[in-house]
Each structure stands twice: as structure tokens, then as C-alpha cells.
Chain A
């Protein structure tokens, strides 16, 4: 069993947990993820390792489906049935001077360790962060510790401009030039960022979070087509240079079990 050391409510939809998992923490690097199971018959849920020390790992999750809602019912002092990792390739940190992070919603969590690593290595780092409302902009204080400028966008205009991160980016690009952008968020956001960045000739890295079972390259559910070639997000990724990724196919694959997800949520959580 893996003990929950700390739990923090970041907003109405998003929570943070610090979990004791020394074997995951031991070799973890920025960009790695882990897989948890909440209980004995639980689904395997992949989540980015946001931070870690020698013993504990931190995850951030959105209460979106049945299993993350179940996870949310756990409190500090409770335990999770399974935690395994670190999985995936560590982020390929490039030798660049100026980096723009673009985070959408809970995508701010997987972006955080990467962007921080760039700052640590001396790159000048800015951030565009978007969310539904002001309170959905997570990790702002932590980002501000190393970002030069943080731009915000919200659906309701409660913080920053009212609109999408791409609209902010378009404005920012009029004044600044970036060697690299890292966009992490919903697939449609990443797709639109990539289209925009190509227009401005900015390379983009993304982090993908497709459906996975084992996370070790065994099932092949997480496959993604990049320039006509099949990659497994779990072992070849989850971070990829965005050029050539078939986002439309990924979106279809992501939605494959939506019907089942609705069904189990209605059946087991509607009370």
C-alpha cells in the first residue's frame, strides 16, 4: 500500500496528492509519469510526476472520470492500492535560450517539472496559462518563482484576457521570439497551438496522455501516429516534438470509451 502524505484542493475540479512511493521517487526525472490504482479492482490511471523527493511523489489530477472521482474520496493518511513508475522517457531538455510554456487547465501540472528544468538550466522562461475561471489557473505561485512573465487567459475573463491561450500567444508573438514552445493541455488546445506556432515558425513540444493500461509498452492502446509512423506514448513519450502528430486520430482514440465512462459514473457515483 502507498500512503497519501498530503492532499490539497487546488480548485473545485483539481486536487494534489503527495504519495509515499520510494521506488517511484528514486529514479524519477522531469517528464516521467506513474500509474496508480485506487483500490483492488481499480483502473490503472497514468499521471505525471509533478514533483518528487527521495521518498514521495506529487500528482495533480482532475476529477473527470469515475476513477479520478474515486481517487478524490481518499484523504491524507489513507492509502492507494498501487503506485508504479517512473514511466516514460524523461523530457528531452533542449539547448535553447528562450522558452514559452503554454498550459491549458490541468495541463499546467505536467508542464511544471519540464518548464522548471529549463529555467534551472538557465533558459529564459515565460508562461501562458489558461483555464475556465481564475481559480482553474493552478500552480501560479510556483510558476512565478521561475517564470519571467506569466500571461493568463480564462473562459469567463476572471483573470487575464477572456479567451484561449492561442489568442494570448498570438499577441505575445508580436513582441517576442521564442526558440521553443511547450504546449500541454487538452488535445484540441495542443493542436491549435501547434498550428499557430508553425505559422510563427516556433518549434513545439507536447505531452500526450492517451488511454493506457500497463504503461510499459505492452498493450499498445496509447499508440499515436507521428509522420505516418506509430509510436507508443507510454514508452516512446509521453513528450514528443509536435510536428506531424495526428491529433484528430488521437482525439478519436481518447473518446473511445466515453460512453462507458458516462455509464459507470451515472451508475456508481450519482447519489
Chain B
């Protein structure tokens, strides 16, 4: 029996582009059971191997098919404490769904949508697993409360450790809070998922910048932490390095998104942090962050929001779904344009000059390389949002010279162990900007390595 994929309802494009409410509305129980019935329950499930945290996907789908949502949740929860988040933001098409056998002849099982359904059900019904934790009274410190830190914290807590998470900002969640917009990942979902870690007994400390408020050395030698996990993410915006880049009206996506997502500038003046972009916004870049920035700009009321990207449509690194949503919401894609200069008046940007590119040979990334043509086009703008990537924040490195990083500022690790004894790292701070689930996978694996390390200390 072949059945088409069960489509998740979404807000209409013309409605949603004027509000910050979530775009995708989620499955009903009937939708979920129907979609679950498309799963072939493979003997050797390729989806599990393709999942960075190896959720037992066929099992939870089988439980869902039997309308046993609770069991489905506990199955996921064993491998992934944040299903409501991952169900929304994982690039499933490249992971579980990309490996799904059903996908060979039809659309793969909508595993992400099912995971989200189960995650949301657990939050709504306040399911908790009543895990018994046997305290070992050994302290570990986690730097950063984003996906890597959270996953690492929960794994270590389950092993009995006293876990302290230190977050530099005033809210927990890292990129889940400051980076990903509300319309893609509602902040109350993030808070409730984090609450599950709190219920397990993980201690959360906000406003602590490791390397400044406390150094790594102080954590190890004055505060007696047995091991430290660095999961401080990739928070440093990459610059274009163009003339005029510091004119007013030019934002890095980090600032723009942080103003809206963390500081709630979309509610100004009810909240005191403003954001101003005007009517004509050029978003530079083609990744998920660029899509988030463009769609946020549209929701703030900008009439004309366009992407400037130096390659073609097929080369966009953003998830296909995000690109589709952006197009539906009226974002224009100006492709094969490479910005070369910002121009303005009285230090206020009003134009961006771009070189017109054409496609050349394949490059190392498997995409056709954009080649300069010597021809230019200038766009009138009221503001621009630069979204061309992030790298790790250098504060930790500056404060800890013995911490070895590579030439892009990424912490160098061997099996999650850094150059400093007892200090481990994972997530974007090691890989450079990647995905939520890869960071979670790294956090989980690092927890295993940290446990082994701490146990080895006691044998000596």
C-alpha cells in the first residue's frame, strides 16, 4: 500500500509574513498515525544510522502507529532530550529522511514532523521520565547552554555527575534563543525543553562568561571541577571586508537576529531594544541564517527584501524548505551578484555595488565556482544584513593561551579532548557553524569521553 506523505499544515504565506507566529503548525494525532503507517519498519534501519544521535526511529514510529505517544516519547528521549526542537530544525532531508527507503520511490517518511509531534505532545502533557539518578558527587562544568552544552549536560547528569552549565547571555539556549527566529522555533518550546534538563537536576547559571567571569584554570583548580566541556558555539560574525561596511544600516545577521529573537525588538516600544531596517533590505548570503534574516526583515515590515548571493539557486546552502518558505513570503533572490562596496551619505548606507558573476568550473564543494565578469550593478537599499557565516568566539582562546585552535579559531580536539587535560569541546566551537543536531551529537559523545577520563583519574 502506497500512500502520499501527510502534509503538515502551515500558516498561509501572506498571513505569516506579517506575524512572528510559527509557520509550520504541526500534525494532529490522526495526521501522525497516518504518516507513521508509511514506515516500512526496516530490519536494518538506515534512518537510525543517519541520525547523529541514533534515535530508534522505527521503534518510536511503531509506537506512534499504535497511538502510544508516551512510549514513543520515552524511546526518543533516551537518545535525544530535545525532540520538539530537533523535529523543527534538523536538516532531516540530509539525515534520517535522506536515508529512508520509502524515499527511493516516493517521498520519505516525514520523520522530522513525527518527532516534532511526539516532542510537542510530551511538552503539552508534561511527560517526564522520572529517571533515577545515582549521585556520584563529582562536579563537571559545561560552557554554553546551546545544543552541544545541553546534550552533554544531560548525558553527564544521567551518569550521576553534578552538572553546572555556564551561559554568557541572560537566557539559556544559545543559538536556539538568539539565532533561530520565533516563527521557526518558538522560544517557549526552547524554554520547556530546557526545563526538562533542569528537572533532571542540571544546574543553570546565566551571565557567566568563562574566560572572563571565571577562567578555565579557576574552574579546574579553585572550583574543583573534574572536567570541563566547551560548547560555546560559533558566535563571531564573518565580515565581508568591504569598503563602507561600517556605515550605519549595515548589520551582521548576529546583531539583527539577536535584537529581534533575544531582545524582542519586534515588540518595540513595548520592549526597549529597537531595530531599524527601512523598506529596502539586502540580505547577503545564501545559508539558513540568511533565510532567517530575510524572513525576519519581511515580518518587521520591510517592503522589499532580497537575497544577494554570488552563486546560483542550486548552490544555496540553506535547507530547501527554508528557501521555499522565503520565496512564498515574497523574498526575492538576486543570484550571481557579489557585493564589492557599500556606499552611503552622512555615514548612512544607501547603495550596495555588486559585481555580476557567472558560473565556472566545479570547485571543491561540488558546486560551480562563481567567476567575476567585470560588470557591475548597484542596488538601492535602506539597510543590509550580512549573513555569510560565523566562527568561534575568541574570548576563550584569548583568556586561555594554552588552548590550541586552528587558523579559523576552531578548537582542536582528539576524541573531544582539547590540548588542556580535563578540558573537552564539541559543537560549532570545534566544527565551525553547523547544525543543532550535529552539535548535540558531539555533546553526547564528549560526555562519554569525559566520563572515561574522570574514571581513569580514580584508577591512578
Contacts and interface: CB of A to CB of B under 8 A. Distances in A.
A27 B214 contact: yes
Contact of A82 (B206, B235, B395): B206
Nearest to A223: B246
B268 A260 contact: yes
B263 A260 contact: no
Contact of A230 (B245, B254, B346): B245
A248 B247 CA distance: 11
Given A37-B170, A217-B236, A257 B209 contact: no
Contacts of A86: 212-213
Contacts, number: 127
Interface in B231-270: 235-237, 239, 245-249, 251-252, 254-255, 258-259, 262-264, 268-270
A85 B390 CA distance: 23
Given A44-B263, A87-B212, A253-B347, A82 B272 contact: no
B394 interface: yes
A85 B212 contact: yes
B237 A220 contact: yes
Given A23-B207, A257-B276, A84 B348 contact: no
A43 interface: yes
Nearest to B236: A217
- Centre residue among A26, A42, A218, A223 by max chain B CB count within 10 A: A218
B269 A268 contact: yes
Contact of B264 (A41, A216, A259): A41
Contact of B393 (A42, A218, A225): A218
B246 A43 contact: no
Interface string B329-357: 00000000000000000111000000000
Interface in A33-68: 37, 41-44, 66-67
A135 to B, nearest CB: 29
Contact of B272 (A43, A85, A223): A43
A86 B213 CA distance: 6
A256 interface: yes
Contacts of B103: none
B22 to A, nearest CB: 21
Interface string B173-217: 000001000000000000000000000000000111100111100
A213 interface: yes
A24 interface: yes
A264 B270 CA distance: 8
Given A257-B274, A264-B272, A225 B246 contact: yes
B209 A264 contact: no
Contacts of A27: 212-215
A81 B272 contact: no
A171 interface: no
Interface in B343-388: 346-348
A27 B398 CA distance: 15
A150 interface: no
Given A216-B393, A217-B394, A218-B235, A23 B214 contact: yes
A76 B170 CA distance: 22
A83 interface: yes
A218 B274 contact: no
Contact of B348 (A43, A81, A218, A252): A252
A213 B255 contact: yes
A155 interface: no
B225 to A, nearest CB: 15
Nearest to B169: A214
Nearest to B213: A23
The interface size bin for chain A is 35 or more
A70 B272 CA distance: 11
Nearest to B348: A252
B382 to A, nearest CB: 12
A12 interface: no
Contacts of A256: 248-249, 276
A221 interface: yes
A219 B178 CA distance: 10
Contacts of B11: none
Contacts of B347: 248-249, 252-253
- Centre residue among A257, A259, A263 by max chain B CB count within 10 A: A257
A263 B208 CA distance: 33
Contacts of A223: 246
B272 A218 contact: no
Interface string A141-172: 00000000000000000000000000000000
A235 B269 contact: no
Contacts of B259: 213, 219
A23 B211 CA distance: 12
- Centre residue among A44, A70, A213, A230 by max chain B CB count within 10 A: A213
B168 A214 contact: yes
A268 B398 CA distance: 41
A220 B214 contact: no
Contacts of B236: 217-218
Interface string B214-232: 1100000000000000000
A178 B40 CA distance: 82
A216 B246 contact: no
A175 to B, nearest CB: 39
Contact of B235 (A44, A84, A216, A252): A216
A46 to B, nearest CB: 13
Nearest to A264: B269
Interface of A: 23-24, 26-27, 37, 41-44, 66-67, 70, 81-87, 213-214, 216-221, 223-225, 230, 235, 246, 248-249, 252-253, 256-257, 259-261, 263-264, 267-268
27 contacts: A23-B208, A23-B213, A27-B213, A41-B264, A41-B270, A43-B263, A43-B273, A70-B272, A84-B168, A84-B208, A85-B209, A86-B212, A87-B209, A214-B178, A214-B235, A214-B258, A216-B235, A216-B393, A217-B236, A217-B393, A218-B178, A218-B235, A221-B255, A230-B246, A252-B248, A259-B276, A267-B269
Given A214-B235, A225-B246, A235-B395, 5 more contacts: A23-B208, A44-B263, A216-B393, A219-B237, A220-B237
